[in-house]
Amino acid sequence: MSTQATDKGRSDQESQHVRRPGELNARELARWGWRQLTSMRTALILLLLLALAAVPGSLIPQDGVDSLKADQWREAHTTLTPIYEKLGLFNVYSAPWFAAIYLLLMVSLVGCIIPRCLVYARAMRAQPPATPARLTRLPDSATYVTDEEPAEVLAAARKQLRGYRIRKDDDGDSVSAEKGYLREAGNLVFHMSLIIVLVAFATGSLFGYKGGVIVLVGEEYGFANEMSQYDDFKPGSLFAPEDLDDFSFKIDDFKAEWLGTGPGAGTARGFESNIRYTAGTDDEKKYDLKVNHPLTVGGTDVFLLAHGYAPVITVRDGEGNVAYSGPTVFLPQSQNLLSFGVVKAPYASPEEIGFQGLFYPFMGTVDGEPVNLMGDIGDGSNAMLSLQGFRGDLNLDAGPQSVYALDTSKAHMMSPDESGKAFNLRLGETAELPDGLGSVSFDDVQQWNRVQISKSPGKEWALLGVSLALVGLLGSLFIRSRRVWVRARRVDGRTLVEVAALDRSGGGDTASVVTDLVENLRGARTQEEKDV
């Protein structure tokens, strides 16, 4: 009984290790997964996913591109903001899920292309295939009978097939030729160029940086390329501060070309800044900075993105002291530069004072309400500053705050009278604050430019990759891969010539190839007879 029990237990253990039909072990499963990942279908799916994943980066303001717009979007969409934050939609190109798609696409392309390159290398060294036994069964073929010798027909065929690779070890009664090898080369170049582009963009993301800054127009203002000078700065993962190029610039003048009539009247259709810059220890140089015409210093590009106005505002407290003074950047809210801004006077006495409101470069009225008519401020006579005042606890000593936001939750509104209206100031006007809290004046208007400063190592490689992709795509579309065969043999005292062609890429007109070849072979004999 014990022996039978032992045999039964052993058989049960052995049956547990017997694989069922279709079951894969770990090695086979890994091989199957690798083949699926490195298939062209998977690469195309991942490429589509990468394109779809980049869509939110175009629709949603990105912290790395324009942090001001991103902050404004957060304030305007308080419900969606927490969801977007968790999904990383304000930093799409740095999100883990975007990086995962990126890396999988890289692996898929490399694993797909390397085997194809090896196959292509073997195909380039291989001879064209031997002539099929029955050429007349091919879709496009033709036959004719001639009195020429088979050797003469085949010699004429070799001359007509110049540009084709001809099989050297053909049997004596046929010629096998093939061309269009560069079609597959075009496919490989196209896919390898994708790898070049992906690597170039990855290099730029890792070692480059992108930052934005608002620079006032004027001799007394300027920018030096230091991290402390940026309003927002987005470094790459492997970026180091010493990678910043040494340069500085000032904006001497800013010119805008305004639309005068028709739709969009009063909006800028073009603008440029006249700047002076110094790179390292070089002499100062001038440059006209325009949209899509950046200034390049070393490996850094300076782009002109936007422009706006900075009203010069002075706030005096109840004791007559200047609590705030200087140009205040107001951010455009529309194409005609109706702008929003904030003024903070934390050291005013006896109470903190703050303002938030709108700047109208060219104010008119519609139904009695102020409306900004155009962005061109002209001589400033039609400009107006409309400020809503607050007093009390503005939470101005609570640490770093946005200069474009004012906490009024614990403050009290103040206005010129009991109506609660805003302080409306024309250029050069001053308004007294209630209860002897001081005054606010609108002294002047200056202009500002928003510039983007970025360094993207590998952008030349990206351009090369895109160019190669175009060349490869054109080659794969227009180069036809064809095989042509000519057989000539003696039948009943005459020579039977069989001609056939096959388009390997599909959709090619090989019937015309066969027709032309037959006509040329016959024409060559006729010409010889005429010469004789």
Residues 332 and 296 in one domain: no
pLDDT at 429: 95
Residues 36 and 72 in one domain: yes
Residues 396 and 353 in one domain: yes
pLDDT at 202: 87
Average pLDDT on 418-423 reads 76
Tell me the pLDDT tens digit for each residue of 308-351. Answer: 999 999 999 999 999 999 999 999 988 889 999 999 998 898 88
- The answer to whether position 272 is within a domain reads yes
- The answer to whether position 83 is within a domain reads yes
Tell me the pLDDT tens digit for each residue of 169-186. Answer: 766 789 999 998 888 888
- The answer to whether position 196 is within a domain reads no
- The answer to whether position 271 is within a domain reads yes
* Cβ neighbours of residue 454 closer than 8 Å, sequence gap 6 or more: 208, 209, 210, 211, 300, 301, 303
CA distance linking residue 178 with residue 279, whole number of Å: 58
User: Minimal CA–CA distance to 155: which of 171, 175, 129?
Assistant: 175
pLDDT higher than 70, residue 9: no
pLDDT at 532: 44
Residues 346 and 431 in one domain: yes
Tell me the pLDDT tens digit for each residue of 428-446. Answer: 999 999 989 999 999 999 9
Q: Is this structure's pTM higher than 0.95?
A: no
CA distance linking residue 458 with residue 87, whole number of Å: 28
- The answer to whether position 12 is within a domain reads no
- The answer to whether position 156 is within a domain reads yes
pLDDT at 531: 46
Residues 32 and 93 in one domain: yes
The residue that leads in pLDDT, 69 or 179, is 179
Residues 261 and 322 in one domain: no
Region for 115 from its dihedrals, namely left if φ exceeds 0, alpha if ψ lies in -120 to 50, beta otherwise: alpha
Residues 219 and 303 in one domain: yes
Average pLDDT on 45-52 reads 90
Give the best-scoring range by mean pLDDT among 5-14, 323-332, 391-400. 323-332
Residues 230 and 326 in one domain: no
Q: Is 113 helix (H, G, I), strand (E, B) or coil?
A: helix
Q: Is 511 helix (H, G, I), strand (E, B) or coil?
A: helix
Domain range spanning residue 365? 313-447
Residues 33 and 112 in one domain: yes
Tell me the pLDDT tens digit for each residue of 113-126. Answer: 888 889 888 888 88
pLDDT at 529: 47
- The answer to whether position 258 is within a domain reads yes
Residues 338 and 424 in one domain: yes
Q: Quote the number of domains for the chain.
A: 4
The answer to whether residues 277 and 225 touch, using CB atoms and an 8 Å cutoff, is no
DSSP 41-58: HHHHHHHHHHHHHHHHHH
- Chosen domain end from 121, 145, 169: 121
> Position 143: which residue type?
T
Residues 232 and 321 in one domain: no
Residues 341 and 404 in one domain: yes
- The answer to whether position 475 is within a domain reads no
For residue 516, what are its two tokens?
């032309």
